[in-house]
Chain A
Amino acid sequence: MTVATLKTTPERLLARDRRALARLITWAENAHPRFPGALREIYGHVGRARRLGVTGPPGVGKSTLCNGLVSCLRERGSEVGVLAVDPSSPFTGGALLGDRIRMESHTKDPGVFVRSMASRDSHGGLARAAVDACDVMDAFGFDELILETVGVGQAEYDIVSAADTVIVVLCPGAGDSVQAMKAGLLEVADVLVVNKNDAPGADRLVSDLEDAVALRRESRDGWTTPVVRSSAGRGLGLEDVLAAVEQQRTFLGSAGLAARRRKMRVAQVQRTVGELLVQALWSDGCRVEFIKTALASGRPPYDVADEMRDQIL
């Protein structure tokens, strides 16, 4: 049976039709009514690809590093899907998605698929549909998936519930050792990468990060986060980054990986239930009216909220 005679988009995806792959990601992004059914059809094929998350502040070289990692993975014979998320404007809803420019050398490689995604209403560094897009690419049959987040600050951690392994990329010249000790970004890292290793201050940053890692009382899963140097623009250190990722995968083992993935799915369902409930709750305008009336009578906000909860549950 050729691809053209297959009927549905999910069937065509499983027959490795790249147009179907692109279209299913669009459905996921738009929360198209057909997407849940499509995911149901392909879900049995989800779970084989390794998901590598790449995050870090803007301008540290995430896209360039991703581009280099794709090249290394291709040399090893892996097929790679890339999802690159860039920010949407909170004012106009528009977005300029420019990560492809760093990855143009892979555009015509049939073993690579690159998709840009705008973050839309999400503020955790990924788009709402990022996990769905990964599931679609996974079912298509890629060996490795790379998820690049928007440039993050100090409080965007959606990547933790989307990737098996999280690389946090930093570069010299962006703050002192206290920055490296703050809560947040370092704690989500399975591998820390100091990119632009040839720039002044790299040695200092590496030692600051190593100190920060050593001072942590406990890491996730008991793994000690390595600090790896790279100069992705010159193609240096990429194999070291992948070697560190491999070590983390070996450390995690299949049981650890399965546990992480279970946790991610539970979080995904919880998040979705939350969204569905919020929609259901406020689609009926009389609840808002109740709040307005209660507040107008001078009652404090938490009392109004408590009463509303008691009414609903």
Chain B
Amino acid sequence: MQMTERKIRVLIGKPGLDGHDRGAKTVASVLRDHGMEVIYTGLHQTPAEIAEAAAQEDVDVVGLSILSGAHMTLFPRVREELVSRGMGEILMVGGGIIPAEDAETLRNDGFARLFGPGTNTDEIAEWIATEMKQRFEEEGDDQ
């Protein structure tokens, strides 16, 4: 069996109650167009649901989007749920209306990058692709 090119699998999740998923869908589409396999789990997900979906899908990246202001509560909870499933090493990114000081706190809490309004979507995709390429090379066959 010949190993096929390893695809980057990404879960895009909308934790909490805000119903605005234009941004999440835009990013999901852009990542798809950059050759990634993107699982979008829809609106109104609990942190546990997002983490469980990420575990079942064995994704490499979890991207969260919140526009309601609840990111300081919900982002860390998703992370806790992932850690409790042994997925603490996963690449986590977030997007939404996130003030700079919150972004700093979240970065210290395991979120590698936070993308605010106006971010060039291709840059998001390229950043994730570069980061994952490096991780895949480090893992080698040891995935």
Return chain B residues, CB-CB under 8 Å to A120.
Answer: 4, 7
Question: Contacting A116 at CB < 8 Å: which of B6, B52, B57?
Answer: B57
Return chain B residues, CB-CB under 8 Å to A78.
Answer: none
Q: Interface stretch among A25-33, A157-165, A193-201, A286-294?
A: A25-33
Within 8 Å of chain B (Cβ to Cβ): is A5? Answer: no
Return chain A residues, CB-CB under 8 Å to B49.
Answer: 104, 107-108
Q: Interface stretch among B33-41, B92-100, B111-119?
A: B33-41
Within 8 Å of chain A (Cβ to Cβ): is B56? Answer: yes
With A19-B85, A96-B38 as given contacts, are A26 and B1 in contact (CB-CB < 8 Å)?
no
Whether A115 and B57, one on each chain, are in contact in the complex, defined by CB atoms closer than 8 angstroms, is: yes
Contact with A along B18-52 (1 / 0, CB 8 A): 00000000001101111111111110010011001
Whether B39 and A104, one on each chain, are in contact in the complex, defined by CB atoms closer than 8 angstroms, is: no
Within 8 Å of chain B (Cβ to Cβ): is A179? Answer: no
Task: Give the distance in Å from the alpha carbon of A93 to the alpha carbon of B52 in the complex.
Answer: 26
Within 8 Å of chain A (Cβ to Cβ): is B126? Answer: no
Whether B55 and A22, one on each chain, are in contact in the complex, defined by CB atoms closer than 8 angstroms, is: yes
Number of chain A residues close to chain B: CB under 8 A: 37
Return chain B residues, CB-CB under 8 Å to A27.
Answer: 143
Within 8 Å of chain B (Cβ to Cβ): is A59? Answer: no
Task: Give the distance in Å from the alpha carbon of A233 to the alpha carbon of B3 in the complex.
Answer: 40
Task: Give the distance in Å from the alpha carbon of A93 to the alpha carbon of B86 in the complex.
Answer: 29
Shortest Cβ gap from B68 to chain A (Å):
19
Return chain B residues, CB-CB under 8 Å to A33.
Answer: 1, 3, 141
With A32-B141, A35-B1 as given contacts, are A93 and B56 in contact (CB-CB < 8 Å)?
no
Whether A30 and B35, one on each chain, are in contact in the complex, defined by CB atoms closer than 8 angstroms, is: no
Question: Contacting B3 at CB < 8 Å: which of A18, A30, A100, A113?
Answer: A30
Within 8 Å of chain A (Cβ to Cβ): is B131? Answer: no
Question: Contacting B28 at CB < 8 Å: which of A22, A35, A96, A279?
Answer: A96
Shortest Cβ gap from B11 to chain A (Å):
9
Which chain A residue has the least Cβ–Cβ distance from B29?
A96
Task: Give the distance in Å from the alpha carbon of A253 to the alpha carbon of B1 in the complex.
Answer: 34
Within 8 Å of chain B (Cβ to Cβ): is A101? Answer: yes
Shortest Cβ gap from B80 to chain A (Å):
16
Whether B85 and A31, one on each chain, are in contact in the complex, defined by CB atoms closer than 8 angstroms, is: no
Question: Contacting B41 at CB < 8 Å: which of A95, A101, A113?
Answer: A101
Whether B32 and A92, one on each chain, are in contact in the complex, defined by CB atoms closer than 8 angstroms, is: yes
Within 8 Å of chain B (Cβ to Cβ): is A34? Answer: yes
Task: Give the distance in Å from the alpha carbon of A115 to the alpha carbon of B41 in the complex.
Answer: 12
With A26-B143, A31-B3 as given contacts, are A94 and B38 in contact (CB-CB < 8 Å)?
yes
With A107-B49, A107-B53 as given contacts, are A89 and B141 in contact (CB-CB < 8 Å)?
no
Return chain A residues, CB-CB under 8 Å to B29.
Answer: 96
Within 8 Å of chain B (Cβ to Cβ): is A181? Answer: no
Return chain A residues, CB-CB under 8 Å to B58.
Answer: 22-23, 25-26
Return chain B residues, CB-CB under 8 Å to A101.
Answer: 40-42
Whether B3 and A97, one on each chain, are in contact in the complex, defined by CB atoms closer than 8 angstroms, is: no
Question: Contacting A36 at CB < 8 Å: which of B1, B41, B56?
Answer: B1
Which chain B residue has the least Cβ–Cβ distance from A272?
B1
Question: What are 29 A-B residue pairs whose CB atoms fall within 8 Å in the complex?
Answer: A18-B55, A18-B56, A19-B55, A19-B85, A19-B86, A22-B57, A23-B58, A30-B3, A31-B4, A33-B141, A35-B1, A36-B1, A89-B32, A92-B33, A92-B34, A92-B35, A94-B36, A95-B32, A96-B40, A100-B39, A100-B41, A101-B41, A104-B49, A107-B52, A107-B53, A108-B52, A114-B53, A114-B56, A279-B2
A22-B58, A108-B49 known; 20 new pairs, CB 8 Å cut-off, are A19-B55, A23-B143, A26-B9, A26-B58, A31-B4, A32-B141, A92-B33, A92-B34, A92-B35, A93-B7, A93-B35, A94-B34, A94-B35, A94-B36, A96-B38, A97-B38, A101-B40, A107-B49, A113-B56, A118-B7
